Amino acid sequence: MKITSAEFVVSNSDVAKCPKSGLPEYAFIGRSNVGKSSLINMLTGRKSLAKTSGKPGKTQLINHFLINKNWHLVDLPGYGYARVSKTAKKTFQKFITEYFSKRLQMVCAFVLVDIRHKPQNIDLDFMQWLGENGIPFCIIFTKADKLKPMAIEKHVEDYKTILLETWEDMPNYFITSSSKSIGKDDVLHYIDELNNSVNT
């Protein structure tokens, strides 16, 4: 898939105000500072479609972007903010869970994980929650340019070992680097395949 158009549609914290178009949606979510905005900009080929920031917790709303006029990319708030109040955290968690339970056009969630770190409980807990609620998801390992191939393989194997303790299969996953455009074609091809299966 080649992205020819990417435009911002709406930001809000009320799932009821999300677009009513019924177009397929792909949600991107991860811990703060995992490189989500950079990944979205890399995938869409736009330098500042999603706002990047050195401060964790920059995305605090549900952001919809219309891609190629036929699907939505959804930038969701991170889970596990370091620098926001407990009340704000609860609000974020509430509308994240509301988004996943109410947006029936959401085809797949992409859970972003920093490949440099060993498996984190907060990521594993979130994937467990998605699985228990029947929400389809894939894993996107980010910042792959920071590690050598053998280290990448080891970290992915660590995830597989833990996930296969409770899952029958390892979820689909992608290795990416926003700065080197690694994984872009793989992720977009996967979305294209899902779009085709949704529309048939």
Which CATH number belongs to the domain containing residue 60 in this structure? 3.40.50.300
Cα–Cα nearest to 28, from 123, 129, 139, 172 = 139
Shared domain for 193 and 123, answered yes or no, is yes
Domain assignment present for residue 52? The answer is: yes
Question: Is the domain of 130 the same as that of 154?
Answer: yes
Last residue of a domain, one of 79, 105, 131: 105
Same domain, 100 and 123: no
Last residue of a domain, one of 57, 75, 105: 105
pLDDT (tens digit per residue) in 119-159: 988 889 889 888 888 999 999 999 999 999 999 999 999 99
In a domain, 155, yes or no: yes
In a shared domain, residues 67 and 128: no
Residue 128 lies in a domain: yes
Q: Are residues 125 and 76 in the same domain?
A: no
Quote the domain boundaries for residue 147.
118-200
Mapping DSSP to helix (H, G, I), strand (E, B) and coil, where does residue 97 land? Answer: helix
Whether 189 is in a domain gets the answer: yes
d(CA 35, CA 142): 7
| Domain presence at residue 54 | yes
Please check whether residue 65 lies inside any domain of the structure.
yes
- Please check whether residue 177 lies inside any domain of the structure: yes
Query: Using CA atoms, how far apart are residues 187 and 177, in angstroms rounded to an integer?
Result: 12
The pTM assigned to this predicted structure is 0.89
CA angle, 41 as apex, 38 and 88 as ends, to 5°?
60
Q: Are residues 124 and 198 in the same domain?
A: yes
Cβ neighbour number for residue 169 with a 10 Å cutoff: 8
pLDDT of residue 78: 78
Average pLDDT, the chain: 87
Task: State yes or no: pLDDT of 52 exceeds 60.
Answer: no
Q: Are residues 77 and 126 in the same domain?
A: no
Shared domain check, 143 and 87: no
Q: Write the single-letter amino acid at 92.
A: F
Q: Is the pLDDT of residue 56 over 80?
A: no
88 and 122 both lie in a single domain: no
Written as one letter, the residue type at 139 is I
Same domain, 101 and 166: no
Residues 147 and 194 placed together within one structural domain of the fold: yes
Tally of domains within the chain: 2
Q: Is 58 a member of any domain?
A: yes
Task: Read off the pLDDT of residues 59-78 as tens digits, 9 standing for 90 and up.
Answer: 578 899 999 999 999 999 87
Q: Does 186 lie in the same domain as 134?
A: yes
Instruction: Determine contact, residues 42/27, Cβ cutoff 8 Å.
Output: no
pLDDT at 165: 92
12: pLDDT confidence band, cut at 50, 70 and 90? Answer: confident
